[in-house]
Structure 1
Amino acid sequence: MKNAMKHAILGLLLLAVSFNSFGQDKEKTSYVLITNATVFDGVNEKLMEDTDILIENNLIKDIGKNLKAPKGAEVIDVTGKTLLPGFIDAHTHLALHSEVDYLIYSAPEGYMGAKAATNATQMLMRGFTTVRDIGGPTIGLKMAIDEGAVIGPRILPAGKMISQSAGHGDFNARQINWSQYFAGQIDPAYIRGWTTIADGIAEVQKATRETLRSGASQIKIMGSGSILGAHDPLDVTEYTIEELKAIVKEADKWGTYCGIHAYTSESVMNAINAGVQSIEHGLFASEEAFKLMKEKDVFFSTQFMAFSSTPEEAGMNEVAAPKYLLAKEGADNGYRLSKKVGVKMAFGTDLVGGLDMNTYQPQEFVARLKYYTPYEILVQATSLNAELLERSGKRHPYQEGSLGVVKEGAYADIVVVDGNPLKDLTLLVEPDKNIKLIMKDGKVYKNTLN
């Protein structure tokens, strides 16, 4: 009996040692040493020449000259190339990859998810290692990417957009003149993860709580009329300031913030006074509104490339085309005033409607050149966007390292470009040709250096 007990104990000890060894193998430290880089760190205009970067697992461990490669390290020589932080897009809708009504009412969910995954993979391969997905059913996609099941960028998802009845998030057909709420029906846009229609303080509080419960990093509010909306003319201001304050308060309880779709100056002013921290679009905002934006340290997240096309090129239908032209007329005024006042400008694209539309994402870099220098644009797409993402606070899903910068302790999210984008930003328009290396979280996803 004693011998049997001894054998049993010995077997358990051997099993424990075996599992412990297996765990140690899985947790084995990996190193990558990138040598001879010309580094743009995401903050400073002056580049660091002939610089080495040592990456330990998923973080940058050391930056300097003539660093020694640890035993077993992979060494990547990038002589003559420019190394930058991975780019951040602050306004994406990864799941809006087809015609909107079809996606909301008809498309099989597997189809929606598969194409969103393809969209995410293609975005990473353009050098965008992080995105703020500012509305739609992408929380599951984020989870799959984080688990390694799908290749794509880091995602900070907003989940369901919160809209009033007849707001930008109310996708019911115009001819339906009754409310799904009062008719006792459930809106497919809600069931499928697109929007929540909420009116009044109690409803917007519940909608915000539900969205945060689902895993949103921040809240997206629909605060004014839109170009693509079925019901809402572009000049309409949506939600009262009391409703907006109620949403902001709920988000604040969760340690995060709200961004808002807002075109009219009134909607922008209401949002800022309610405590919203990110204005999406905002093209009709007055100089007074931009001054308030700067005073309250609110980000302006607008798009340049999206309003440099014709309605046909932008994929607008007959209802949206006139509203698109109206927004395009106001765009220059919004760009000019925001630059004059000096608000914090995020870098985002808001490309929807098809995977082919998202191929224009890198065009955003050059579309901004009329108003900003290459250096300013690259800061917007890296460290400044990272600052915006940090406003997710406790709900920020990536807190192990810094994003948008090349520094010790930052995530190893890196792109290497053949040439110097600070001198020639058009290099980024052709990522297949000019981006030679893409790394996210210390893992190389593209390497065509040789």
Structure 2
Amino acid sequence: MIRVGKKYQRLIHGSGCACHSPQMGDVTQALTAFNRRGFLAGLTATAAAMGVPGPVLAQASGRPGRMLFRQLRLFDGKTDSLRDSAQVLIEGNRIASVDFAGEAPPADAKIIDCGGRVMTPGLIDAHWHTLFAALPLQALLTADAGYIYLAATVESRNTLLRGFTTVRDLGGPVFPFKQAIDDGFVVGPRIYPSGPMITTTGGHGDMRALSDLPRIPGGPLSAVERTGGAAIADNIGEVQLRVREQLLQGASQLKLVAGGGVSSPRSPLDMTTFSEAELRAAVDVARDWNTYVAAHAYAPRTIKRAIAAGAACIEHAHLMDEEAAQLMAAKGVWLSIQPFLSEADVPPMAGPSREKALEVIAATPRAYELARKHGLKTAFGSDLLFSAALTPRQGKMLTHLTRWHSNADILKMATSTNAELLALSGERNPYPGKLGVIEAGAYADLLIVDGNPLENIDLIATPEKSLALIMKDGAVVKNALPA
């Protein structure tokens, strides 16, 4: 049986809990058999133990043939204002039409009256960690894989109920979890997976115990690597191997750790990990697969090296200087940055990690100012980690951007702009349709908001109250509209 402490019982216990039933005992046995590569098989066994047939395990209210949303005000993801008297027709998992002339609905369409509420595209988080968001770091390093996946299943549903219908996962063994969502076994957002972050010995993400050192090239993998938390590479050949391994498993883009990080206590923020040649080797393999490399980098020198090697996107960059910002602008490199404004935006930390977090928080305003000054292509990501109490701030993080952007620009960033970044994955794009917009042919990922987020962006921070309806891939996952 999986034993869950009182602190985390609320992650899996709800009303009408059947944890002590014979069926749940069978479920628990199935969960204990989970491992990183056997996730789908274990989940299917869990469904069978519960008597649930196949992919209907996670279906919310189903996907009708046609659905017409009428009497709504439309934010299409690209413009600065709302359009009134709109109606949107959904067929399957796509938007069939957007109409402002009040055309008669198809005879077989289910009609949903929005009562003048606002429709927006589903939100996109460009820097998320599906498996690492809700559990403390120590639990992730020590817990059974079944428990980690179970907690992630709960958090994945919560992510979707916050209005985030798509995430770009920037590190973790998320491939089978993504497949479980796509196949309908788990409720959650679309996932653009990177797989384990690729780092060097001593780089951010190298969470090995010191007893695992020295590393023997070609020797057995450490526990962190076996579970898919990180992939360690210390020369060009190893970099190429690790990149190809992630692409083989279905990575839509690659995450390389070019410098130090906050949560890894032994990796200083000022350090630079991979050489330019090693980074370029990763970029070359990614290009051969028609996708791109996102480089984790905080310090100016690290940012410049990653850009010189051909990285298409810089993650974080909070410590960048004027020269680094100018170089990003000149090369058209994307900035994927997180608005960390206080310790409330980061998990509880101590020692070197807390000191580094405070340094990043202090540098955040200048980084956003440089991004605006130089017109950088800027994506929104939250990068919330290691805390079930912190993840509900996902929408709150988006509202922090009012210090530098209008409400309309904030919503565009979290929808159509983030979708442009996702599209860099080219042929490796797992969802090649249009995302982040409401227009004919786009995926039917949308929100119905009680109130006008263009006037009050704080509505995004209270999704349990403000989001009257959530649709992902043409299926309604929440509907609190009046009958």
Length-normalised TM-score, structure 1 = 0.90
1:157 aligns with 2:193: yes
Aligned residues of 1:129 and 1:413 also touching (Cα < 8 A): yes
Q: Tell me which amino acid in the other structure corresponds to 1:83.
A: M
1:214 aligns with 2:214: no
Residue 201 of structure 1 and its aligned partner are, at CA, apart by 0.8
CA distance in 2, matches of 1:98, 1:372: 32
2:108 match: 72
The equivalent of 1:39 in structure 2 is 74
Q: 1:338 aligns with which of 371, 395, 402?
A: 371
1:425-436 equivalence runs, <5 A: 425-436=457-468
**1:107 corresponds to:** 143
CA distance in 1, matches of 2:214, 2:364: 34
Q: Do the aligned residues in 1 keep the contact of 2:343 with 2:358 (CA within 8 Å)?
A: no
Pairing of 1:267-306 with structure 2 (within 5 A): 267-304=302-339, 306=340
Q: Which of residues 226, 235, 260 is equivalent to 1:191?
A: 226
What displacement does 1:169 show?
Answer: 1.9
Could you tell me which residue of structure 1 aligns to residue 49 of structure 2? none
Equivalent runs, 1:42-191 vs 2, <5 Å: 42-64=77-99, 65-96=101-132, 97-104=134-141, 106-173=142-209, 175-176=210-211, 178-182=213-217, 184-191=219-226
- In structure 2, what is the equivalent of residue 16 of structure 1? none
TM norm structure 2 = 0.84
Q: Of 382, 403, 408, which residue of structure 1 is paired with 2:435?
A: 403
1:326-405 correspondence to structure 2 within 5 Å: 326-399=359-432, 401-405=433-437
Residue identity matched to 1:383? S
With over 3 angstroms needed to count, the CA separation of the structure-2 counterparts of 1:29 and 1:76, relative to structure 1, is: closer
> One-letter code of the match for 1:355?
A
Kept in 2: contact 1:90–1:132 (CA 8 A)? yes
Shift of the alpha carbon at 1:406? 0.4
Distance 2:363 2:64 in 1: 53
The percent identity for this pair of structures is: 39
**Which blocks of at least 5 consecutive residues in structure 2 are unaligned?**
1-62
Measured against aligned partners, the alpha-carbon deviations of 1:115-155 in whole angstroms (never above 9, x if no partner) come to: 11111100000110000011101111110000000011000
SS at match of 2:389: helix
Alignment pair present for 1:416 and 2:416: no
Aligned equivalents of 1:423, 1:43: Cα separation in 2: 16
Q: Which of these two proteins has the greater Rg computed from alpha carbons? A: 1
* One-letter identity of the residue aligned with 1:444: V
Query: Is the 8 Å Cα contact of residues 161 and 221 (structure 1) preserved in structure 2?
Result: yes
Closer/same/farther in 2, CA of residues 144 and 177 from structure 1, 3 Å limit: closer
The 1-side partners of 2:402 and 2:120 are apart by 19
Kindly provide the CA deviation profile for residues 93-113 of structure 1, in whole angstroms up to 9, marking residues without a partner as x.
011132224313x21111111
Is the aligned partner of 1:320 residue 2:356?
no
Shift of 1:361: 0.5
Contact 2:95 2:444 in 1 (8 A): yes
Deviation at 1:336, TM superposition (A): 1.2
- Return the alpha-carbon distance in structure 1 between the equivalents of residues 389 and 74 of structure 2: 32
Q: Secondary structure at the match of 1:416?
A: strand
Query: What is the RMSD of the two structures over their aligned residues, measured on CA atoms?
Result: 1.6
Number of equivalences: 418
Query: In 2, distance between residues paired with 1:430 and 1:448?
Result: 14
Q: Which moved more, 1:142-151 or 1:316-325?
A: 316-325
Counterpart of 2:401, as a letter, is: R
Note if contact 2:127-2:168 (Cα within 8 Å) is conserved in structure 1: yes
For 1:215 and 1:290, locate their aligned partners in 2 and report how far apart those are by CA, in whole Å: 32
Separation in structure 1 between the aligned mates of residue 460 and residue 64 of structure 2, nearest angstrom: 33
Runs of 4+ in 1 over 4 A off after TM superposition: none
Per-residue deviation, 1:167: 0.3
- Superposition deviation, residue 341 in structure 1: 0.8
SS at 1:397's partner residue? coil
Separation in 1 of the partners of 2:273 and 2:428?
A: 26
Give the SS at the match of 2:291.
coil
Q: In the alignment, residue 327 of structure 1 is paired with which amino acid?
A: V
Report the CA distance between 1:349 and its aligned residue.
0.2
* Corresponding position of 1:309: 343
- Worse-matched range after superposition: 416-425 or 224-233: 224-233
Measure the CA separation in 1 of the matches of 2:96 and 2:146.
40
Q: Which residue of 2 aligns with 1:257?
A: 292
Contact 2:337 2:380 in 1 (8 A): yes
Partner secondary structure for residue 145 of structure 1: helix
Instruction: Name the CA shift for 1:177/1:412 in 2 (closer, same or farther; >3 Å).
Output: closer
The 3-state SS of whatever aligns with 1:362 is: helix
- Work out the CA distance in 2 between the residues paired with 1:32 and 1:296: 44
Alpha-carbon deviations, 1:270-307, whole Å to 9, x = none? 11111111111101111121122122221111111x33
Distance in 2 (alpha carbons) for counterparts of 1:365 and 1:135? 21
